[in-house]
Structure 1
Amino acid sequence: MEMALCNIKNPNELWSLESCDELEQYGITISVCTDIFSTTILWMEADNNDGDPSVFLNHFLDTVTRIGGCPQRLMVTPSRENEHIATTQTFLRRNHTDCYAGEDSVMGGVSLRSHMWIHTCTPWKICFADLRELGHFTGKDLDKNLIQFCFLHIIQDHLEEFVGRFNKNISDHNILRSQDDGPAEDKLQAVLPEDIEVCRRRCTPRGRYPCDETLFEYWELIRTENGWEVPVDRFTALKLYLHLRNVMETCIDEEEQVTCIDEEEQETCIDEEEQETCIDEEEQETCIDEEEQETCIDEEEQETCIDEEEQETCIDEEEQETCIDEEEQETCIDEEEQETCIDEEEQETCIDEEEQETCIDEEEQETCIDEEEQETCSDEEEQVTGLLQ
């Protein structure tokens, strides 16, 4: 990088775009652009934009319009605020024919003179650090806006004064150097006005107000009513800052008191509403309990009715079973009686059969006797016959 910078032999051959973040924590950003060959400061601007790239682009286009062209190359540090400027440089150089045209016209780099910008911002940094240490700056947006209201235009005047002195000394030095080395070739690249107008659509011009518009009008009204002078240097700006901050603290305290009262009233209302809600909930719970009790009573009555019905059903079933048992007993008795009758009939039948058999036996016996008698008679007849013979 150092060797490349040593080869820069002509003005506007390379611009270096840098930013100083020493005052960023207090709501102020500073952007710087220098020509590497002549070390001339092309712009040094203090803004309240928190690194908005569209505001930085506006500074670049103002400078291009003022000097009539853009650099052959642009060196930018890798940061968000330089994004629009890098793309704009590429756009403006898109139709050129040299070896650094188009995208080659932008190169990355580092801050070359950060120590110089830090030295420039040191008085303001010390002043703001003292305010923080004494409790007059907390880092909130309200304090940052108040810093911008009181100090921003004073800081810008200080930077412009510094740039004027620095560039005058550099100009005298460059005149002496050109006498020794001979005239250098200006590498400024011409650009079309319509291209610049196209690029301005993406930029944001510096606003009328150094801080939030509403706060600016409010603080300006307080300053006028109290007869406080417009700050012209660091000390008068610090005095105005402390006056306005005391007013703001008083207003904030009153607002906090009002807020506390409102919060207490709201809490009271909330408590009353909660109590009413609790009462309503208790009443609802009581109603629910009564309904549940009634429901339980109904359920118990229903269960009692069911039990009674079940008991009646059981009694009916028992009676039916008793009837069935009696019928079965009667049936059994009838069957026994029938069996007894059958047995008697069988016994009578057996007796009849026995009697019949006895009669038969007697008849047979009589028959046998008759036969025997007949045989006896036959024998006797034969005997008589034999005797007769």
Structure 2
Amino acid sequence: MDCEYIEDYFKRGFTTDEILNLLADSHGVVLSKRTLERILSKKQLWRRKNKTDVAEVATFIEQQLETSGQCHGYRWMHQKCWLHGIVTDRETVRILLQLLDGEGVDLRSRNRLRRRIYHSCGPNYVWHIDGYDKLKPFGIAISGCIDGFSRKMIWLEAYKTNKDPKIIAGYFMDAVINAGGCPARLRLDLGTENGHMAEMQQFLHFSENQAETDNVTFGPSTGNQRIERWWLTLRSECVQFWMDLFDKLSVDGYFSDNFLDKVRQIHNSRSPHGRPSILHAVPHLYGGRDCLHHVDLEKVQVCLDECVFKDFPCDEDVFHICVDLMSEYNLKLTNDVFETVNLYIALRQLINNELDH
């Protein structure tokens, strides 16, 4: 039996019971708990043995604190450690964060939130969709969709616009194809960018044999509870780092807002506790049911014909110029944040030099 997904689930921090449920429901593989434990032991996957040296854990956390990891609390950082193959316990991560980033810990500990009650029948009952504009001054427009029951992200896309209704409809149809159906309901705001998507949702649900149902709910963004709460998490755990980084570029004179620079446990009594991926995959364990509405492929194709999909992340001419310059000057694109910033500055200077001549 291929055990790659067992190792993946283990490294993502799932418990043995959660792994067993995922194997049975998502892969059709039924194992006993003892068999799973033997497989994990054979692959030397333990949670309390062979822990990574504390110095190595500290080094990893220090590296994370240099980028958007500086926004993370100890629970999020502990999960990141596991995802990167670092075996440690949550308490060790908490202590290291206190030592390495005491100021950040103090800032995060002051947050307070009065929670509202949320109820959903199960996964794919409501998809909450909204745009996020905090990085829009720097040309990055984000669109997101979250499942109301499980809090699983259906899509999270960054592009040069999140106001084109055909682009947003493209995100929606990609998600419908990947899920094999559409949700029972959509929760949207009244922006024009949502018009195509709302019509497609109604079209996919329409049947001559069924009475018309209310499958699109419009309302203000401030009332779109699930996605608004996720935007708060995104801001605190990731986006704030990029806002600060881009602001510094602007202050240092490397961003002038012109065509060249634009790149265009839940404490809720009615919401189940658990990991989003588990809640979404096996909702019956939490008293829910999958509400996915299976759709006609011919209808899907009709909708796809009305969509526009992402192409160039910025102005097309600027994109091609940058590609040519990178080839000419042997400049490499990396995953390192600060090396990428240096690449951006170098390309910007090269283009400005050409324009000056």
Which whole-Å deviations, capped at 9, do the CAs of 1:238-281 have from their partners, x for residues lacking one?
A: 01111011112222322xxxxxxxxxxxxxxxxxxxxxxxxxxx
Match of 1:18 among 127, 130, 133: 130
Q: May I ask how many residue pairs the two structures share in their alignment?
A: 226
Q: SS at the partner of 1:9?
A: coil
* Aligned counterparts, 1:2-81, within 5 A: 6-49=118-161, 51-81=163-193
* Aligned counterparts, 1:152-301, within 5 A: 169-172=275-278, 178-179=284-285, 181-182=286-287, 184-207=288-311, 209-254=312-357
CA distance in 1, matches of 2:177, 2:131: 21
In structure 2, give the amino acid aligned to 1:13: Y
Sequence identity (%): 30
* Contact kept? 1:27, 1:50, Cα under 8 Å: no
Q: In structure 2, do the counterparts of structure 1 residues 232 and 70 end up closer, same or farther at CA, with 3 Å as the change threshold?
A: same
Instruction: Please state how far the C-alpha of 1:98 moved relative to its aligned partner.
Output: 6.5
* Contact kept? 2:181, 2:293, Cα under 8 Å: yes
In structure 2, give the amino acid aligned to 1:8: S
Match of 1:107 among 198, 217, 221: 217
CA distance in 1, matches of 2:148, 2:242: 27
Instruction: Please state how far the C-alpha of 1:226 moved relative to its aligned partner.
Output: 1.4
Instruction: Please state how far the C-alpha of 1:185 moved relative to its aligned partner.
Output: 2.1
Which whole-Å deviations, capped at 9, do the CAs of 1:150-206 have from their partners, x for residues lacking one?
A: xxxxxxxxxxxxxxxxxx942346789854x44x22111111111111111211122
* Contact kept? 1:15, 1:33, Cα under 8 Å: yes
Which whole-Å deviations, capped at 9, do the CAs of 1:107-161 have from their partners, x for residues lacking one?
A: 023343231232332222111111111221111112114xx6xxxxxxxxxxxxx
Instruction: Please list every run of at least 4 consecutive aligned residues from structure 1 whose deviation after the TM superposition is greater than 3 angstroms.
Output: 96-99, 172-179
Greater relative contact order (Cα < 8 A, sep 6+): 2
* Contact kept? 1:8, 1:36, Cα under 8 Å: yes
CA distance in 2, matches of 1:64, 1:93: 12
CA distance in 1, matches of 2:233, 2:210: 33
Gaps of 5+ in 2: 1-114, 265-273
Q: In structure 2, do the counterparts of structure 1 residues 233 and 97 end up closer, same or farther at CA, with 3 Å as the change threshold?
A: farther
Work out which of the two has the higher radius of gyration on C-alpha atoms and give 1 or 2.
1
CA distance in 2, matches of 1:92, 1:172: 27
Residue 233 of structure 2 is matched in structure 1 by 116
CA distance in 1, matches of 2:280, 2:310: 32
CA distance in 2, matches of 1:185, 1:135: 53
Q: SS at the partner of 2:187?
A: strand
Q: SS at the partner of 1:74?
A: strand
The Cα RMSD (Å) is 2.5
* Contact kept? 1:231, 1:240, Cα under 8 Å: no
Q: In structure 2, do the counterparts of structure 1 residues 177 and 141 end up closer, same or farther at CA, with 3 Å as the change threshold?
A: same
Q: In structure 2, do the counterparts of structure 1 residues 129 and 11 end up closer, same or farther at CA, with 3 Å as the change threshold?
A: same
CA distance in 2, matches of 1:173, 1:93: 24
Q: SS at the partner of 2:260?
A: helix
Q: SS at the partner of 1:16?
A: strand
* Contact kept? 1:20, 1:118, Cα under 8 Å: no
TM-score in terms of structure 2 length: 0.58
The structure that is helix-richer by fraction is 1
Gaps of 5+ in 1: 149-167, 255-389
In structure 2, give the amino acid aligned to 1:217: H
Q: In structure 2, do the counterparts of structure 1 residues 123 and 80 end up closer, same or farther at CA, with 3 Å as the change threshold?
A: farther
* Contact kept? 2:152, 2:280, Cα under 8 Å: no
* Contact kept? 2:150, 2:279, Cα under 8 Å: no
CA distance in 2, matches of 1:50, 1:248: 27
CA distance in 1, matches of 2:185, 2:150: 15
* Contact kept? 2:119, 2:149, Cα under 8 Å: no
Q: SS at the partner of 1:142?
A: coil
Instruction: Please state how far the C-alpha of 1:51 moved relative to its aligned partner.
Output: 2.1
Q: In structure 2, do the counterparts of structure 1 residues 238 and 83 end up closer, same or farther at CA, with 3 Å as the change threshold?
A: same
Residue 131 of structure 1 is matched in structure 2 by 249
